Amino acid sequence: MSAELTWFKSSHSDSSGGACLEVAHSPHHTDAEATVHLRDSKLGVRSPRFSVAASAWNAFLKRL
C-alpha cells in the first residue's frame, strides 16, 4: 500500500538526524472512509504504520 500513498513530512525534518513523522492521506469515495497514515521518517517504507480515520485525525488536530 505504501507505493500507492504520497507521503509528506515537515520542512523542519532534515537529513542530519532530525526526524519527524511522515503523513499520507488515503481518500475514498466518502469522507467517512478516508484514512490518514503515519510513519517514522527515519525508517521510511520499513516503518510500522499507524492508520486512523480522517475524521479522528481532524478532531485530534483541532485539539492541539
Beta-bridged to residue 40, according to DSSP, are 21
Gap between the Cα atoms of 33 and 41, Å rounded: 25
Residue 60 has pLDDT above 50, yes or no: yes
- pLDDT band for 1, please (50, 70, 90 cuts): very low
Residue 2 confidence (pLDDT): 45
Q: What is the pTM of this model?
A: 0.73
Alpha helices per DSSP H over 1-64: 54-63
pLDDT in tens, 16-53: 666 788 999 887 766 667 899 999 888 888 989 999 99
3-class state of residue 60 by DSSP: helix
